């Protein structure tokens, strides 16, 4: 089940382990990097950290929104090796609507359903 976690609820050692085991793992998704470029970042993930999706948030005029932090080339969904590709693609496409623009890894090709 996909859940949304606030910054204080994220287990950073499990988070960093998923990034380490992920074929897509990049420094921009490491917890220490996110702490620097987007203090208070949040996440979408499954119950056991098999896939994680960092959410960098800001607030303007009382409205919260997602943004791409400076010095962060790309973001997206990161998963441990062997996580089903179809489930991953559906999760990404469900998170990327007209109100959200996230520059993802170039290897994440999404086929229309």
Q: Global pTM?
A: 0.74
Nearest to 72 by CA among 104, 45, 40: 104
pLDDT of 110 reads: 45
Using an 8 Å Cβ cutoff, are 73 and 98 in contact?
Answer: no
Residue 78, token pair as written in the block: 């990161």
Residues with Cβ within 8 Å of 9's Cβ and at least 6 positions away in sequence, in order, are: none
Domain boundaries, the chain: 3-95
Nearest to 14 by CA among 40, 51, 64: 51
Residues with Cβ within 8 Å of 104's Cβ and at least 6 positions away in sequence, in order, are: 74, 75, 76, 77, 92, 96
Q: What does each of the 113 residues of the chain score in pLDDT, given as a tens digit?
A: 788 999 999 999 999 999 999 988 899 999 999 999 999 999 999 889 998 999 999 989 998 888 899 998 888 888 887 666 555 555 555 554 454 555 555 555 444 43
| Pairing state between β 57-60 and 51-55 | unpaired
């Amino acid at each position: 089940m996909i859940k949304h976690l606030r910054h204080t609820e994220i287990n950073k050692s499990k988070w960093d382990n998923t990034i380490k085991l992920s074929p897509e793992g990049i420094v921009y998704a490491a917890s220490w990097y996110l702490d620097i470029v987007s203090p208070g970042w949040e996440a979408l993930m499954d119950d056991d950290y098999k896939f994680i999706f960092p959410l960098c948030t800001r607030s303007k005029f009382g409205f919260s929104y997602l943004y791409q932090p400076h010095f962060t080339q790309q973001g997206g969904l990161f998963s441990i090796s062997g996580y089903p590709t179809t489930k991953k693609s559906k999760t990404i496409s469900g998170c990327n609507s007209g109100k959200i623009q996230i520059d993802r890894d170039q290897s994440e090709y999404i086929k229309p359903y």
